[in-house]
């Protein structure tokens, strides 16, 4: 199955989130995954460039070394506020291009603007669209004037979705309050990778070495290696 993922965050540099784990496992099962992302952190870098050209990153992985995901980053404009107008144009062009060339069986949206575009195009081309909620994204918009617009777009995207997926019950409730159908709105929890976090390991020696009591909760910290050129 060809799966096209749409998000408004940097797939390459942002820490592994729900979508990274899920998509890499789907790729390992034999599905083809392509991601359209956005360098949301462009303001943290040099502003010497007015725009960034379209880029394609091959053989991307962040968790599983034996999978390969293609990440496409459309042309972007490095101008505050105007960046959103540019995203509407370039991401729409890229989504249409991928629909024509890649022919996705399903499109999964994780953002607001490009998810809204993708949901409308998916409906036009009779492609299943799934809206995946890992956060209440409208509340994270820096410009407060745009937060209400974000909620309006989320509501429209929900109406064009065959299914809404949330990572917890509260997000599911939030999506339902925005108009999601309770019967097609489900929760897929983040879960735990038991291959990495083995609950049967005896940690008494580590606790003793660092004077950690047996009733203290310990959270392991992993360092992830970025699997792209």
Nearest CA among 165, 79, 156 for reference residue 120: 156
Question: Mean pLDDT, the chain, as a whole number?
Answer: 88
pTM of the predicted model, to two decimals? 0.83
What pLDDT sits at residue 154?
Answer: 94
What pLDDT sits at residue 161?
Answer: 97
What pLDDT sits at residue 47?
Answer: 60
Average pLDDT over residues 197-215: 80
What pLDDT sits at residue 73?
Answer: 97
Q: 36 or 201: whose pLDDT is higher?
A: 36
Q: What is the pLDDT of residues 103-113, one digit of tens each?
A: 999 999 999 99
What pLDDT sits at residue 197?
Answer: 65
Q: What is the pLDDT of residues 85-103, one digit of tens each?
A: 999 999 999 999 999 999 9
Nearest CA among 118, 38, 31 for reference residue 71: 38
What pLDDT sits at residue 159?
Answer: 95
Q: Quick check: 13 pLDDT over 70?
A: yes
Q: 84 or 105: whose pLDDT is higher?
A: 105
Q: What is the pLDDT of residues 121-179, one digit of tens each?
A: 999 999 999 999 988 888 877 777 788 888 899 999 999 999 999 999 999 999 999 99
Strands 106-109 and 2-6: parallel
Q: Which stretch, 17-21, 48-52, 71-75, 204-208, has highest mean pLDDT? A: 71-75
CA distance 91 to 175: 24
- With respect to CATH, is domain 2-192 assigned 1.10.3720.10? no
Q: 198 or 74: whose pLDDT is higher?
A: 74
Neighbours of 154 (CB within 10 A): 24
Average pLDDT over residues 20-27: 94
**Cross-strand pairs, 130:** 108, 163
Please provide the distance, in angstroms rounded to a whole number, between the alpha carbons at the two ends of the chain: 26
Contact in structure between 44 and 76 (CB atoms under 8 Å) = no
What pLDDT sits at residue 229?
Answer: 37
Q: Quick check: 76 pLDDT over 80?
A: yes
Q: Quick check: 117 pLDDT over 80?
A: yes
Q: How much of the chain exceeds pLDDT 90, in percent?
A: 61
Contact in structure between 101 and 113 (CB atoms under 8 Å) = no
């Amino acid at each position: 199955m060809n799966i096209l993922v749409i998000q408004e965050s940097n797939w390459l540099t942002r820490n592994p989130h729900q979508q990274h784990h899920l998509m890499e496992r789907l790729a390992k099962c034999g599905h083809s995954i392509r991601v359209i992302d956005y360098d949301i952190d462009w303001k943290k870098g040099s502003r010497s460039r007015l725009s960034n050209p379209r880029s394609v990153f091959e053989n991307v992985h962040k968790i599983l070394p034996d999978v390969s995901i293609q990440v496409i980053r459309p042309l972007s404009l490095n101008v505050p506020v105007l960046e959103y107008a540019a995203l509407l144009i370039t991401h729409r062009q890229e989504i249409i291009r991928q629909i024509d060339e890649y022919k996705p069986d399903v499109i999964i949206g994780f953002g607001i603007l490009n998810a809204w575009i993708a949901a409308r195009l998916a409906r036009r081309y009779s492609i299943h669209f799934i809206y995946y909620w890992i956060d209440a994204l409208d509340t994270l918009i820096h410009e407060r004037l745009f937060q209400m617009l974000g909620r309006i777009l989320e509501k429209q995207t929900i109406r064009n979705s065959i299914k809404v997926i949330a990572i917890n019950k509260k997000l599911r409730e939030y999506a339902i309050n925005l108009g999601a159908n309770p019967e097609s709105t489900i929760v897929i929890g983040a879960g735990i990778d038991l291959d990495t976090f083995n609950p049967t390991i005896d940690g008494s020696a580590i606790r003793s070495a660092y004077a950690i009591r047996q009733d203290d909760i310990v959270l392991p910290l992993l360092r992830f290696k970025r699997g792209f050129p």
